């Protein structure tokens, strides 16, 4: 047995007795008493074991010196991808090499006399990590620009010159945007600093690392090129959202939060802070994407590095198991794992002279993808962390025949195994049947350094020279609630001592108690609330604690990570989310509690709807209760304003507050009380970085209203808002009249709706600053908005908001939530629809909704569509099932479905824009949940088809069925004069791929009548059923769906004894069974006209339909 394969064969179980780490068990000899003879034997055994340990460590030291350190850059400490590369350093490889060297450094720390080897290894790690830092700090301008807009051209580079650290390839020529690389660096930086290595030297470097945190915080909305550096699997230069990148960012944020970069001796200003809400968005999006990797990749081996070592990004056992099993079942082969399906890298068919592939070229690589032994090593590591000896043994045996040897007998891990060009056809015909050759990288003369690094780590673990707790010092492999409690002044992602363990929830966040503080705006409001048994505090009563609006906390955080010397501007001006406002802050000697964003009186009209606010308070509390992961309890400030008293829904707010007082809110545990009594059990964040700054903050705390007398004693004394309504008269024709005429009519109109319309005409024609009786048009519209808001006249409120081009606050995250849920989003109407298939920046929101086409259609749509997007974004996160079967959420069509339900089903006369926001939200939920109530409310088949058609809903496995139909249609499928060709569609995409579903969806979106759309959906299902039951069938000519539907309709009319008409209402209103029957007959007729392959004409004329 060769000494180089120590790890693969496993040796020396007695080594485990020598662990000196605090986590290791003491030797058995110390756990019992025995004779003197026994003691002598134990001493001798320990000496033998110690010598054996030293010998093994020295063996690995030799391997590390020969295979890794030999290839380390003498100037910066960086590593190339392979040992023959002498010019270009690869950052990902460099990090893994550093991790490997560090793991041996950790192993050497167990023995008393390492003869200086541990120090040497540690310093090699330090040099390596600082080399990366050095290269990136030369790109601070890129970091600052990237923070503002996540533009790929400003990405930190993933490749540098090996010796000089200069840029070697531009962002135009290579996909540098790899979020996982920066996240991996942060992750191992924390592990190494925790082990005692001093990697960060100066405050400039601390500031830069804080900005790296900002760099990865928005991974959840940043399409990147991923671990394989190519973006989508089509390799056409398109980045996409990768679950592996987002998961790695999530793990890095958890690891570095509260970490002191100067180590245990560091001061308070060298601590790193993480936005808990940004972390939660990454967590949410990551878990939504799993087990899928991206839009083009259903499964990817890179996910193993994310859900297991080194990131351990999810501890949701169901998600973990599902992702893991999908990776193994889909990608594992005899020689390793494929990276992903149709991966052309390294295959003999790939043209290495071209950077990008041609359209549909990926089809050529199917079933001959290269297999990477590297992932056998990751499976071994996973087995070690899971204490699964069978798995470790299984993958050791699989790896053994693949490993090569160098002249010293040391193992060499090939980069990948490929199919020889002579065997390609045979392998494609029978996958797994052909012998594969190893790659040029991963040979004794050209080491694949990433593979060698992981082999060393796995071998140290298997030889019991390293314990998993020494490799993972921050216990990433444990759920947050099982990690050792972290002391100190800073919040940490870990178990809270205030969790209540239950039988079903072993210390999870579902057992959390949410603390609630009720703050009344004035003493008279406090007195009135007391008459109803609701105890509140005023801002004066909570002093010296201050109540801040969340925007004031944003001002404080803007100073975190600022450096004029480096040209870095600190935290971007992003709002503080629900989790961030649930901490209590210590800032410059002040204790501060922020109220959540939902209580902010914003420019947008949603904040004026009390019923919506009540729903939002409940949602906010449940959100905090579900996703809180920090030590200490969350403390939520509920702010009660005097204007709330005048709302018709104020009694509902009182009911909610009474429910909170009872200790529960729809199953969530609540504790209300005085703020001073709740601080001790709260999560307290010390913003110590402010102490080191000489800055005068312009902070405006929430002020208490002062009144001469207490005033109101009960609700009956409060003047409530009246219900306002007016006749809706259109002044649209005035748009054709000259300005003096418009002004004349404006002076004579008293209705809010009329004035708003006329001011809108003037605003578009003359501009915002045009004077009307000494007042600008904009100021007149603002005055109307205030009046309409006080009267709760929602049609006027929405129209004024639209004229002033107002936007919903923080709508971007909700758009991103929709997109990463595997959906597309479309704004606008008809031909002017704008398709969103990637996250948008906040700055792009205005142009998205305030398009000339949408304004011309109906000015109110600009704000109404934003409102519906917001509701859909919130619903898809909490009630995912409402969107089952909907791939493209077309906001204009969702509003059409709502209008249809309101007018044609309920026979209401109100317009959507005249409804209160809470009623609009309930209407959105109503149409999305049609399956739950359609039968009960006796909707007709046509009504169901109209609503489902507007929503774009399809049945289960619909897109797989369409793929099967397309594979049987040589000339493609035609619908609405648009052809979906067989090739390159099915040669470039696979049946389960999200991109194929989106292609089909874009074809269906050409249909302008929702009922007809649903008939076409039913037609696809019928054709698929016929093809499944008659697999010999194949269409020789275009499958014209419009022609088949028309034929079915003709037969339907004929059976009813009616003349042909263009009005298909009667057909739309027929039951699904009846429509299916006529569609099936029309398909059979279509087939029998000679549009199927010759076998049918030769006698197979009978088709199984039922």
Contact 405, 4 (CB under 8 A): yes
Which of 995, 806, 1048 is CA-nearest to residue 292? 995
Length of the chain equals: 1106
pLDDT for res 812: 82
Residue 1061 makes CB contacts below 8 A (sequence gap 6+) with 1053
pLDDT digits (tens, 9 = 90+) for 55-84: 999 999 999 999 999 999 999 999 999 999
Q: Comparing C-alpha atoms, which of 22, 21, 25, 11 is closest to residue 53?
A: 11
* ω into 210 cis (within 30 of 0): no
Please, which residues have CB within 8 angstroms of residue 705's CB and are 6 or more apart in sequence?
521, 522, 525, 642
Cβ count near 872 (within 10 Å):
26
Spatial CA neighbour of 690 closest among 770, 592, 578? 592
Phi, psi of 405 (to 5 degrees): -130, 145
pTM of the complete model: 0.86
Tokens 């999560």 correspond to 683
Ranges in the chain, pLDDT < 70? 1-48, 485-488, 494-510, 602-603, 707-723, 725, 727, 854-857, 1090-1106
3-class secondary-structure state, position 384: helix
Instruction: Report strand pairing: 684-686 vs 771-772.
Output: unpaired
SS3 for 866-895 is: HHHHHHHHHHHHHCHHHHCCECEEEHHHHH
- According to the model, what pLDDT value does residue 603 have? 63
Tell me which DSSP letter residue 82 carries.
Answer: B
DSSP, residue by residue, 807-843 = --TT-HHHHHHHHHTT-EEEESSGGG-EEE-S---GG
What whole-number distance in Å separates Cα of residue 382 and Cα of residue 455?
A: 13
Q: What is the DSSP letter of 569?
A: E
Sheet with 513-520: list strands edge to edge: 635-640, 513-520, 668-672, 664-665
Q: How far is CA 375 from the centre of its chain?
A: 25
Q: What are the Cα distances from residue 808, in Å, to 144, 293, 430, 770? A: 26, 31, 56, 26
Strand 664-665 versus strand 546-548 pairing type: unpaired
pLDDT of residue 710: 54
pLDDT value, residue 709 = 53
Element (H, E) at 1014: helix 1010-1029
The number of angstroms, rounded, from the C-alpha of 764 to the middle of its chain's C-alpha atoms is 39
Query: Which residue in the block uniquely carries the two structure tokens 């071994």?
Result: 380
Kindly report the number of other CB atoms within 10 A of residue 321's CB atom.
Answer: 12
Round to whole Å and give the CA distance between 771 and 124. Answer: 72
């Amino acid at each position: 047995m060769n000494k180089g394969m120590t790890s693969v064969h496993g040796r020396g179980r007695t080594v485990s007795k020598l662990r000196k780490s605090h986590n290791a068990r003491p030797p058995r000899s110390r756990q019992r008493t025995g004779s003197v003879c026994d003691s002598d034997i134990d001493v001798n055994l320990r000496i033998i074991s110690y010598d054996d340990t030293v010998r093994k460590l020295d063996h690995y030291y030799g391997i590390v010196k020969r295979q890794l350190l030999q290839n380390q850059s003498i100037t910066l400490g960086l590593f190339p991808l392979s040992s023959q590369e002498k010019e270009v350093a690869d950052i990902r490889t460099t990090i893994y090499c550093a991790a490997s060297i560090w793991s041996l450094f950790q192993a050497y720390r167990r023995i008393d006399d390492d003869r200086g080897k541990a120090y040497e290894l540690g310093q090699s790690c330090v040099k390596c990590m600082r080399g990366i830092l050095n290269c990136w700090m030369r790109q601070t301008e890129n970091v600052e620009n990237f923070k503002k807009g996540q533009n790929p051209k400003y990405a930190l580079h993933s490749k540098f010159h090996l010796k000089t650290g200069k840029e070697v390839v531009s962002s135009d020529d290579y996909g540098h945007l790899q979020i996982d690389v920066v996240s991996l660096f942060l992750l191992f930086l924390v592990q190494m600093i925790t082990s005692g290595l001093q990697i960060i030297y100066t405050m400039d470097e601390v500031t830069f690392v804080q900005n790296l945190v900002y760099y990865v915080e928005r991974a959840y909305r940043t399409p990147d090129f991923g671990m394989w550096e190519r973006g989508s699997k089509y390799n056409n230069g398109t980045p996409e959202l990768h679950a592996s990148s987002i998961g790695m960012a999530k793990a890095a944020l958890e690891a570095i939060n509260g970490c002191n970069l100067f180590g245990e001796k560091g001061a308070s200003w060298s601590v790193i802070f993480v936005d808990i809400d940004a972390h939660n968005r990454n967590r949410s999006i990551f878990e939504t994407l799993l087990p899928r990797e991206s839009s083009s990749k259903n499964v990817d081996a890179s996910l193993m590095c994310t859900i297991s070592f080194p990131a351990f990004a999810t501890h949701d056992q169901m998600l973990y198991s599902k992702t893991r099993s999908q990776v193994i079942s889909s990608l594992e082969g005899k020689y390793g794992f494929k990276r992903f399906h149709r991966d052309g890298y390294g295959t003999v068919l790939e043209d290495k002279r071209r950077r990008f592939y041609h359209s549909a070229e990926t089809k050529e690589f199917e079933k001959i993808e290269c297999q990477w032994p590297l992932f056998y090593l990751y499976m071994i590591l996973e087995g070690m962390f899971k204490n699964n000896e069978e798995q470790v043994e299984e993958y050791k045996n699989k790896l053994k025949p693949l490993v090569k040897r160098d002249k010293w007998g040391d193992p060499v891990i090939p980069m990948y195994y490929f199919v020889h060009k002579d065997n390609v056809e045979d392998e494609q015909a029978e996958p797994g049947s052909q012998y594969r050759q190893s790659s040029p990288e991963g040979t004794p003369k050209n080491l694949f350094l990433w593979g060698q690094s992981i082999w060393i780590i796995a071998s140290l673990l298997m030889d019991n020279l390293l314990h998993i707790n020494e490799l993972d010092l921050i216990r990433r492999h444990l759920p947050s609630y099982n990690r050792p409690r972290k002391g100190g002044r800073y919040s940490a992602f870990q178990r809270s001592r205030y969790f209540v363990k239950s039988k079903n929830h072993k210390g999870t966040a579902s057992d959390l108690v949410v603390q609630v503080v009720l703050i009344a705006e004035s003493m008279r409001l406090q007195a009135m609330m007391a008459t109803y048994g609701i105890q509140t505090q005023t801002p004066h009563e909570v002093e010296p604690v201050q109540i801040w609006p969340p925007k004031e906390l944003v001002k404080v955080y803007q100073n975190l990570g600022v450096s004029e010397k480096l040209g870095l501007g600190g935290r971007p001006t992003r709002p503080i989310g629900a989790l961030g406002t649930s901490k209590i802050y210590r800032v410059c000697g002040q204790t501060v509690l922020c109220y959540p964003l939902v209580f902010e009186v914003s420019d947008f009209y949603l904040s004026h709807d009390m019923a919506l606010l009540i729903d939002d308070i409940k949602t906010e509390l449940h959100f905090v209760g579900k996703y809180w992961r920090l030590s200490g309890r969350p403390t939520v400030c509920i702010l009660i304003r005097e204007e709330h008293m005048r709302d018709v829904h104020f009694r509902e707010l009182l009911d909610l507050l009474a429910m909170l007082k009872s200790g529960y809110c729809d199953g969530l545990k609540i504790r209300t009380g005085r703020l001073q009594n709740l601080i001790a059990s709260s999560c307290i964040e010390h913003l110590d970085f402010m102490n080191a700054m000489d800055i005068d903050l312009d902070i405006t705390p929430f002020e208490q209203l002062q009144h001469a007398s207490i005033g109101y004693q009960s609700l009956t004394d409060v003047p409530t808002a009246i219900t306002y309504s007016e006749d809706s008269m259109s002044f649209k024709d005035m748009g054709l009249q000259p300005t003096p005429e418009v002004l004349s009519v404006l002076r004579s109109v008293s209705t809010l709706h009329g004035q708003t319309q006329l001011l809108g005409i003037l605003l578009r024609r003359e501009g915002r600053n045009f004077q009307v009786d000494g007042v600008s048009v904009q100021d007149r519209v603002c005055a109307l908005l205030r009046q309409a808001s006080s009267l709760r006249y929602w049609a006027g409120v929405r129209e004024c908001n639209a004229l002033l081009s107002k936007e919903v606050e923080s709508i971007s995250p909700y758009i991103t939530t929709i997109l990463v849920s595997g959906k597309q989003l479309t704004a606008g109407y008809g031909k002017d629809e704008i398709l969103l298939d990637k996250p948008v920046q906040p700055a792009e929101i205005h142009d998205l909704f305030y398009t000339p086409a949408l304004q011309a259609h109906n000015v109110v749509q600009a704000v109404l569509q934003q409102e519906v997007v917001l509701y859909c974004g919130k619903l898809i996160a909490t009630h995912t099932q409402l969107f089952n079967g909907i791939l493209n959420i077309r906001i204009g069509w969702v509003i059409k479905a709502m209008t249809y339900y309101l007018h044609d089903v309920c026979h209401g006369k109100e317009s959507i824009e005249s409804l209160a926001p809470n009623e609009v939200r309930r209407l959105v939920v109503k149409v999305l949940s049609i399956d739950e109530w359609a039968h009960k409310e006796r909707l007709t088949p046509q009504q169901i088809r109209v609503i489902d058609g507007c929503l774009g809903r399809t049945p289960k496995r619909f897109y797989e069925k369409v793929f099967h139909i397309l594979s049987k249609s040589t000339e493609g499928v035609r619908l609405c004069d648009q052809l979906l060709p067989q090739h390159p569609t099915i040669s470039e995409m696979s049946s389960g791929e999200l991109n194929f579903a989106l292609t089909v969806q874009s074809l269906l979106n050409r249909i302008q009548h929702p009922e007809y759309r649903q008939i076409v959906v039913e037609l696809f299902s019928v054709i698929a059923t016929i093809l499944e039951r008659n697999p010999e069938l194949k269409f020789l000519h275009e499958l014209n769906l419009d022609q088949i539907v028309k034929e079915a309709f003709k037969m339907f009319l004929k059976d009813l004894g009616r003349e042909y008409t263009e009005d298909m209402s009667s057909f739309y209103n027929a039951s699904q069974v009846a429509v299916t029957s006529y569609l099936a007959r029309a398909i059979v007729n279509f087939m029998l006209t000679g549009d199927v392959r010759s076998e049918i004409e030769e006698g197979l004329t009978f088709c199984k339909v039922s």
